[in-house]
Amino acid sequence: MKCDRNKPCGNCVARSTDCVYSSASRNRPVAAQRRDGNANLENRLRRLEELLNTMAPQASQRGSNGSAAASARGQNDREKGGSPEDDSSLQSDPSNLSDVKPGRMMSSDSQVAYVSSTHWAALCNEVAELREGLEQTNLAEHTDNAEISYGSGPMLLDGLQRPPELKDILSGIPPREVTNRLVSRYFTSNVISLVILHAPTFEKEYIRFWNDQEQVLPAWLAVLYGVLAMGSFLFLRAQEDLPGDLGNTLIAIEAFQRRSTECLMLSNYSCSPGPYTMEALAMNTQIEFVRRRDASVGVWVLMGVAIRLALRMGYHRDPSHYPQLSAFQGEMRRRVWALTLQLDALTSCQIGLPPMINQAQCDTQQPRNLLDEDFGPDHAQLPPSRPETELTPVLYTITKTRISNVFRTIFNHAGLGRVDSYNQIMELDQRLNTTMQSISPRLKLTSLEDSVSVPPWLLIHRYSLELLSLKARCILHRYYMTQAYSDPKYNYSRVSCVEAAMSILKYHGQILAETQDGGLLCQHKWFLSSLELHDFLLSAMVVCLELSFRARAKSGSGGGQSPVKFSREELVGSLQRSQILLDTLKVHSSDARKASVALAVMVKNFTQPQKPQEESSEPRDQYGNSGNLPLYPSEAESILGSMSFDEPYLPSEAIQTSHPAFSSSLEGVGTFFNTSEIIDWDQWEAFVQGSRSTTDSF
């Protein structure tokens, strides 16, 4: 019977017994009482989960007819060559997700966690009786105690050695006057990660850090060390000595990067991501990227870790769904997510693998075109976005994210293992054109003659946006370019692909010239990074395919007038200039060195007089091809992976430095060349076989 809590209580009066209340609950510690309450709440959640699991099969049974119909529709879509996940309109229009429950965001001072609407915790959030108790429960109390301390995560992520204590890590901070100069150099630059740090807020936190270093969060300290590493890199880029007695710049960058990594590990980032985790990871990834000239699978894997943690923290869902996030927090999360989208698409393409983010599951809006001074932690609402004719640091991020989203869709379609209809290709082409036409005039590339007064960083941003769109066009039209050789109705793809490739090679030549002493970009030689080298190699392959077809068409009876405006001499000249560019880069880049030798084979094939071929009784097609080397197969193995560089192909006067013999793997370059989704490799292999026959004498 329920006690009425009177003194004496009704039950004791009725039984004529003494009424004594236990004082144990009053004397128990508050923490123990809270644990009992939490245990009770967890039991109720467990019962609710069992109830939901019981109801799920019933709902599934009731909806079986609808599911069967949907399955039939899905099967019909697949037979037609499409699928709901691959629909570009779904990926590009977050409004399609308006009816989807946003999931649940759980946060505390030290952790942030997100679960989707299908997770039991999100379902429980919709039960009014439990909502209050859930909101009052600290996130840390729902986390297993073993996951709070360092070492609870996977060994591969945590490392084999425990990171140093915080006081030891703090000892690596330079004197304040030196640190000030490195921080200032970073915040007065235009590096891409700058937008994810709110300068006025960081400055306040920075002052607070110097006033009380012992209270600093490890994740924030990881951000600071990342800023110091990037600031040092900016000194290196400007060919200036570091301030103070920091010594060798490369050693300083590595030391700061190591400290940043130790701070991340100390924060237990892989199990308990919280404030500053994503910012620290973004800084860490950027530093790893700029330290390398060549493509790195490790950087791509690191990017994957950052993406998974971003999903865990709910960055892929727009902050407007979660009232516990302030307007300031929401806008900074949008900036971080925009940068994450860019890096995912570009690093994945560089490695030759699909992007890791499924855009169909994301609805985070673009950040607003605002200066850092326009908003802050104390603002209840964000001000309206500035017009895009007004150049702000975040405008480049906004614009590049838009182009990257189109690029992501194109790259995903190219890697599906099937061929899209030509109507789909043209729809994506129109979408790319529309996106490029909407770019702010402040970010559109103009001729170098009209850019003499343009700051170097702005010129770099313009080149980057234009090169990204041209690369997207090459990938989009690469299949139907080869189909146009036998069917003129696809000539638009042939023209678009070749012209985009020639533009990329032209811009790379301009960049190389302007990075020399006295050029507009003389202090920005780093701009010729591994991403730009990847674009360059893709373009060279496209030009070689066009030249290869023309050579075959000339030797056969077909061909006719080419729809491409470039003459054979112009195409060959672009390859020759490209070889010069690679020769310039090969001292610092193994990818460039290997590609230089490969490109030399191509140039030699198109510039030396062709030996007369012996007559053969083999039947040939209208372009002079035998059946042994088919011109237009659908898929094949990689091109250079099947080549055998037993001896150098170039005469000594064509090579400034000697090169060792190359194995068939070609290591770094192979990461690009070994993807059959980008180039019709059988077409290329036919060209390579012809190259071998013409270079046997070397």
Each domain of the chain, given as residue ranges in start order, spans: 100-145, 161-368, 512-610+622-694
Nearest CA among 465, 452, 470, 444 for reference residue 514: 452
Question: Considering Cα of 288, then 290, then 292, then 294, what sign does the dihedral take?
Answer: positive
- What pLDDT does residue 298 have? 86
Q: Which range among 128-132, 560-564, 637-641 shows the weakest confidence by mean pLDDT?
A: 637-641
- What pLDDT does residue 2 have? 66
- What pLDDT does residue 555 have? 65
Diameter of the chain measured on Cα atoms: 122
Return the top range by mean pLDDT from 71-80, 170-179, 441-450, 639-648: 170-179
Q: Which range among 47-56, 59-68, 264-273, 329-338 shows the weakest confidence by mean pLDDT?
A: 59-68
Side-chain-side CA neighbours of 305 within 13 Å: the count stands at 21
Q: Which residues contact 427 (CB under 8 A, 6 or more apart)?
A: 88
Mean pLDDT of 563-592: 82
pLDDT higher than threshold 80 for residue 295: no
Using alpha carbons only, what angle is made at residue 536 by residues 532 and 537, rounded to the nearest 5 degrees? 120
Give the single-character DSSP code of 586: T
Nearest CA among 494, 583, 596 for reference residue 545: 494
Using alpha carbons only, what angle is made at residue 662 by residues 660 and 666, rounded to the nearest 5 degrees? 130
Using alpha carbons only, what angle is made at residue 195 by residues 191 and 197, rounded to the nearest 5 degrees? 110
Higher pLDDT pick, 380 / 526: 380
* CB 640 within 8 Å of CB 672: no
Mean pLDDT of 430-446: 95
- What pLDDT does residue 620 have? 43
Report cis status (omega within 30 of 0) of the bond before 456.
Answer: no
- What pLDDT does residue 84 have? 37
d(CA 49, CA 56): 10
Residue 41 CB neighbours (<10 A): 18
Burial of 426 (0-12, 13-18, 19+ CB in 10 A): middle
- What pLDDT does residue 535 have? 79
pLDDT band at 626 (very low <50, low <70, confident <90, very high): very low
- As a whole-number percent, the residues of the chain with pLDDT over 90 amount to 37
- What pLDDT does residue 386 have? 96
- As a whole-number percent, the residues of the chain with pLDDT over 70 amount to 64
**What mean pLDDT, rounded, does the chain reach?**
75
Mean pLDDT of 128-154: 49
Using alpha carbons only, what angle is made at residue 140 by residues 135 and 141, rounded to the nearest 5 degrees? 75
pLDDT band at 272 (very low <50, low <70, confident <90, very high): confident
Nearest CA among 658, 680, 678, 656 for reference residue 669: 678
Q: Which range among 48-52, 310-314, 337-341, 514-518 shows the weakest confidence by mean pLDDT?
A: 48-52
Higher pLDDT pick, 19 / 404: 404
Residue 598 in tokens: 């490969």
pLDDT higher than threshold 90 for residue 107: no
pLDDT higher than threshold 70 for residue 439: yes
pLDDT band at 57 (very low <50, low <70, confident <90, very high): low
* CB 604 within 8 Å of CB 650: yes
Give the single-character DSSP code of 626: B
Mean pLDDT of 508-512: 85
Mean pLDDT of 151-165: 73
